Each structure stands twice: as C-alpha cells, then as structure tokens.
A and B are shown apart, each in its own frame.
Chain A
Amino acid sequence: MAQIMSGAKMVVQALIDQGVDTVFGYPGGAVLPIYDEIFQQNSIKHFLVRHEQGAVHAAEGYARSTGKPGVVLVTSGPGATNAVTGLTDALMDSVPIIVMTGQVPTFMIGSDAFQEADTIGITRPCTKHNWLVKDTEELAETLHTAFHVAKTGRPGPVLVDIPKDVQFADGTYKGPSKVKSHYQPKVKGDLKAITELVEAMENAKKPIFYTGGGVINSGPAASQLLRELVAGTNFPITSTLMGLGSYPAKGENWLGMLGMHGLYEANMAMHDCDLMINIGARFDDRITGRLDAFSPGSIKAHVDIDPSSINKVIRVDIPIVGDVGHVLEDLLNVWKSRGRKTQNKDLKAWWGQIDIWRKVRCLDYKADTKTIKPQYALERLEALTKDHDRFITTEVGQHQMWAAQYLGFNDPNRWMTSGGLGTMGYGFPASIGVQVAHPDSLVINVAGEASWLMNMQEMGTAMQYGLPVKQFILNNERLGMVRQWQELLHGERYSQSWSESLPDFVKLAEAFGAKGILCSDPEDLDDAIIEMLKHNGPVIFDCAVEKHENCFPMIPSGKAHNEMLLGDASTDGAIDAAGSVLV
C-alpha cells in the first residue's frame, strides 16, 4: 500500500523501519521540518550534542559498541562541515554511520545561500557513498539504500543530503523490503585459496595470527570462530589496535597488541614467523614499520572483505577476499576435515622462543612512590574495573597506547578508539554514544588532558541525559606523544607541546554540575578510582601523572619490528634521516 507523506516524515519513518531508536544530532534552519517530526513521535530518541563533531563520534561509539549503525542528523553548511572529521574517522576505521544533513532548498542550491555548503562535494572523499536527494519521491529509497551501503561489505559512513523543500514536499513512502541495491560485495571466500591456507597452516613451523578490526566488524560469531581456530591450532595470536577483544586478553595464546607501540613478543613473532595469517587487518604503517624489513621470511595470507586492501602495501601469497566470519567458518571446516593437522613439535619450539621474548617483560616500567606513573594508573584502573561490565573509549596519544597495553579486553565491541585517523577529541563523545547504548554499563574514557579539551563541550550532553560516563584523564600537562617525538627526533626542542592555562578540572566538572576528582598521590589512587566508580553520574577524574614519561616499546619510524626500543633504551639517534620524514 502506497503511503503518501512529507519528506520529513519519511525520514522518521525510514529510521523506524530500519530499527533505529537513537539519533545524535543538532538542529538548524535546514533540518527544522525533520526536527518537527521528531518532536511528534516517541519511537526515536534524539540526543542533542553540543557540536556536530561530537554527534558523529557519539554515533561511532554507539555503532562500535553495538554492531548496529549509528545515526546522525545535522543541519546544512556548518552543521555538515563540522561532521567531516567524524566522517573521515568512521571511514578510516570502517564504522557504519548514517549522517543526514539538511540542505538549502533545491531552487537555491548554487546561489551561495545562507548556510549553504557543497556538502556532497566536501564529503565525497570522506564517505563510503553520499547522495543529494532532489525529489521527495526518491527519498525513502535513498535512505534505505544508504543503510544498506553503510552496513554491507566493509562498513563505513554514508551521508544523505536533504534540501529543505524536499523535506516539506509530499511523496510516496517505500519500505525497506521494496528497495533492491546492486551493491552486494562478495562475502564467501574462494575455497581453493582457503584450502591453500589450510595446507600452509598444516606445514607451518612458526605461524602467527595477525587479526584486526575486520573480525569485530564481522560480528560476534567471527570472534567465536577465531577463538575456536586459535584453540584448535594452538597458534599464537596478536592483534592490531582496532582488533583488541576479538581474542580475549586472558587467553593463553594471546601475545598482546602489535605495531609501533605493540608488545615485544608480538612484534618479534611477526618478524620471525614463517606463516602470517592476516585476518581483517590492513598492513597499516603503524603495524608494518619499515616495509622492506617486514617479516622477511614468511608466507603471508590475507583475509579481507575489501579487495583493495589486498596487495595495497604488502604483497601477499594467499589472498582471500571475503567476510571474516564466512571465511573462518570455511577455514575451520576444511582444516577439521583434513584431520586437524599442525606441526606440533615445531610449534612447541616456536612457543619456547615466544616465552623467551615474553621474559623481556617489555611493559615493565620504573615505579615511583611520589608521582603517579601513567602505566600505574592504568594498571590500577584495570585491577579495579576488570570485573565490571565495562566499555573503554580513548582519545589519541600516549594514554591511548598505554590503555591498549595495560587494559585487558576479553570481548569484542568493548574497546572504542580512533585508530586510522587518530582523532584527538574522539573519546569523550564516543563514550557518550556507548553509554547511550549501554545505560547500565561502566563506560570509561581514558583520555589525555589535551585531547579531552578538544570536545569538552560534550559535558553538557552527558549532564543533560544523565549519562554517567567516567572521564579518566591522565594529565601530564603536555601533548605527550608530540613531546615524545620531539625528544626523539628534534633535539628535545619542545615546540608548542605543553599546555599552559589548563583548567582546574574539578571546578570544571562542578561548573557543569558533575563530579570532579583530583588525584596526584599514588597512595590515594585506588580510593580515588573507587570513589569515581561509586558516583552515579558523570565524573571528570584528573589524574596528575609523571610529566615526562615516554611510551614504550616503540618501533621508531623507518625501523623494523626487531629494532624496537624498550623502556630503558637510549633514544639517541633512534630515528634516522630517512625515518624522520615519516609520521
């Protein structure tokens, strides 16, 4: 039955039909008709953010902690341009987001109207796809297609730009079942290639699983299959920043995170392995280090749903294009049907070698009784919260790497961080989105003071909706990672990398009506953390930490996995001239 309704009403109806109950947004002139429809219904709850960037990051947090797409509604012009950072972040980290932007009416497009921007042109390179809807008759179909594209294949952000006259005009609404899209990426991997990988696994003496965010994006079943595969084969497993939690940190085969600030044993195993099985990761430059010295003796297999990820940076021997869950299922079946073979004796020797690397204890640091070491703060946070129903978000910088190193993630969708784009200001709004999706869970944003200030206005959002997000700020009064690189690379000339005139975070919290806690003595830390956990409301925890701590282990730019710097290493000349041009 055809339903005639206004474009604005169609937007709400399409969201309901797509199973959406939460929207993050900010109103403005060009989306007023949609906001009017939102006012007149109860199916969708709208969360008013304080800045459009916050809306997109909140939607990312919502999406990554639930596996459902996040939805954003913002106005034209500045509303759309403010969403660009979030869109780019979601594109880099493959997060399904649907952003709807208002636009000036169709007859004014191109006239430099008030709050007009070429939203489609601006967001074309930072969305998976985007649409300008010029006719209300096409609106419903476009919205349903947008959801399909965002969720299907390698997930990503999409944007639908809706001119105001299209929102006012009437048209025929179509339900999601009526919409067919030609966009159907392949999910099943090639069985021949999968069999080839099984053969390599049966013969491997020093194998390693290198997993990424693709496992998490594929859904909880993929993580389960991965666990089964690791347990069955007894191969060691490491993961990228984005993939933490798909295999449990408390699992026996877990080596810890790999990459620039990854664990010694993980990077050494990657360098020395003879079979590397990349599942849903993309050989990012934070992972590979120097390319011509990247795991020189290994056969490389790569499972990825995006064909363009294959052979982009590292040439692989066994490419498998497909969804991680589907491929793992087939892989397990083939491996089992061929008799569950592995080279047990060689594997034992391989684990012996890994145990030697583990004895380096690369995460050890010099404890201090007077000042709080950031590592210590995270160790205590982990000890006091690991048994909670816990979600962690982070900002970007040293604290992010320490959080990845010292916190343990035992389930997927529990760890939300900006990996590819490295967006300072991501963590706080993301924590809001996570808390909205999981109102009764403990949500902690591990932050640095500099990153946190970038989207601190979202305190208003947290207060308005009573979202008890815990902002755990490791405050070193520095842009810590910038400072670390300046120490390593620029002769300790700390150009613009300290924060002067920082706010009193306790008073800042109180100004918003939240709770603030300051802690600077290691002895008080446990009590202070417990106080934070007990408070039923947003907390800003100002943890004054050692100001000059560096984040180790570290693979300096332009170096190989086996050229890691450890905690007590000299950093003189760690990065050579060729490495210095890299970021």
Chain B
Amino acid sequence: MSALKIKKGTTSKSAYNLRSNYDDLIERHTLAVLVANEPGVLARVIGLFSGRGYNIESLTVAEVEQDGHTSRITIVTTGTPQVIEQIKAQLGRIVPVYEVHDLTVEGPSVERELSLFKVSGTGEKRVEALRLADVFRANVVDSTLTNFTFEVVGSPEKIDAFAELMRPLGLSEMARTGVAALSRGYLKIK
C-alpha cells in the first residue's frame, strides 16, 4: 500500500506558540555532554540555553580526562520532546562538543548530587535534626554548640526531602552541587 495514503507530517502548533507546550508533556532529561576543556566552552553551552530560551534545572562541569583535555557537563533540563531533541541537536553543533548523550532515554542511569545543610537550633530540635540526618545517612561535617553542617549525597529528590524536613528544625543555609550522572551497567560514554 502506498505510503502516501497516510496523512502525516502535520504539526499542531502555530507560529505564536513556537515555545508553547500545551499539547506536549514537559519531560525532564539528564544530558551528559563531553566537551573539549577549552576556555569559554561552558559559556557556549550556557549561552545556547539562554539564547534559545531553554531551561536549565542544574548543571555541573569538571574535567574528567586530563590527557585528552575533556570535560563532562551534566545538564538537567526540561521541555517538550521536540524541545529536548532541539537541545541535543543544538548542543551537537557547538564545535568543541564531542558527544551528547541523553541518559534519560539511553537506558537506566544513576544520578547523584552532593549537598551541604547548615541547621541551627538547640534542645529538642537539635536532637531531632541529628536523628533525621541519621535516617538520611547524612554526615556531620561541622558542628558547634548551636549548629550542625550536614553533608547529604543522593538523588535530587532525596535532597529535596531532606531540605523539607530540616526547614522547621532551623535550616539556615544550603548548597547543592547539581546532578552528576552515569549510565548503569558496563555501557560507557567514550
């Protein structure tokens, strides 16, 4: 049967809604981007996101291979499937970008984030904070008579949950590294 009998290729979007997503679900994707570790490469990646109106939920970057001068950028982004595809294609165009991998679709992956929480309080609240920290397998990395600084490592959701619990117990400050992610199993990028 002729393929031409199937009507397809139409788009349901109009020009006024190029960035709209009313007919598509917003998805959250974790991208691993291997780049040449040269000056300005991070600015190129960030400039792409701001210039084209894409979202960045978190972004981490560090050199991972000293000999090859390769850095790995892990970006958590959100968008419709079409926007996510565009983000990957646009990243791929950047000259010092070697590879772009979508860990969300390329099989199972692990995501971890490190965070530090400063919790101030005395008496019952202080004991409760320490007890909850134990439940979350948080490390105490600094303590004074009125403060604890906890280190929590885990998925972003776990860190969100810990922050919620600490808030009524005197959470005064927090810092998060953003997500680092790897695919599971023996599959490797590069």
Contacts and interface: CB of A to CB of B under 8 A. Distances in A.
A275 B92 contact: no
B10 interface: yes
Interface string B43-72: 110010001000000000000000000000
Nearest to B91: A308
A124 B36 CA distance: 16
Interface residues of A, number: 46
A143 to B, nearest CB: 15
Interface in A211-247: none
Contacts of B123: none
B188 interface: no
Given A183-B95, A203-B2, A307-B93, 4 more contacts: A200-B4, A291-B15, A300-B9, A581-B16
21 contacts: A121-B43, A124-B43, A124-B47, A125-B47, A203-B2, A205-B4, A274-B4, A276-B9, A285-B15, A290-B15, A291-B15, A292-B12, A296-B7, A299-B8, A307-B92, A308-B92, A311-B82, A314-B11, A315-B11, A315-B82, A317-B9
Given A125-B47, A203-B3, A299-B9, A558 B93 contact: no
A297 interface: yes
A578 B15 CA distance: 10
Contact of A315 (B4, B9, B36): B9
B122 interface: no
A128 B95 contact: yes
A299 B95 CA distance: 32
Contacts of B3: 199-200, 203, 299
Contact of A292 (B13, B89, B92): B13
A299 B6 CA distance: 8
DSSP class of A's interface residues: helix, strand, loop or mixed?
loop
A308 B85 CA distance: 8
B10 A308 contact: no
Contacts of B8: 299, 317
Contacts of B51: 125
A313 interface: yes
Contacts of A306: 93
A124 B40 contact: yes
B39 interface: yes
Contacts of B9: 276, 295, 298-300, 314-317
B30 to A, nearest CB: 20
Contacts of B16: 558, 578, 581-582
A121 B46 CA distance: 12
A388 interface: no
Interface string A125-142: 100110010000000000
A124 B47 CA distance: 8
**8 nearest interchain CB pairs?**
A308-B89, A129-B95, A300-B9, A203-B2, A307-B89, A292-B14, A308-B90, A317-B9
A312 B86 contact: yes
A291 B47 contact: no
B37 to A, nearest CB: 13
A393 to B, nearest CB: 28
A58 interface: no
Contacts, number: 90
B18 interface: yes
Given A121-B43, A315-B9, A558-B15, A308 B4 contact: no
B121 to A, nearest CB: 44
Interface string A564-583: 00000000000000100110
Contacts of A288: 15
Nearest to B10: A296
Interface string B17-55: 010000000000000000010011001100100010000
A132 B90 CA distance: 23
Contacts of A311: 82, 85-86
A98 interface: no
A300 B86 CA distance: 18
Contacts of A582: 15-16
Nearest to B50: A125
B108 to A, nearest CB: 26
Nearest to A149: B95
Contacts of B10: 292, 294, 296-297
A554 to B, nearest CB: 16
Contacts of A294: 10-11
B63 to A, nearest CB: 17
Interface in A264-279: 274-276
A317 B90 CA distance: 20
Interface in A151-197: 182-183
A308 B86 contact: yes
A5 interface: no
A434 interface: no
A285 B11 CA distance: 14
B162 interface: no
A301 to B, nearest CB: 9
B136 interface: no
Nearest to B87: A308
A204 interface: yes
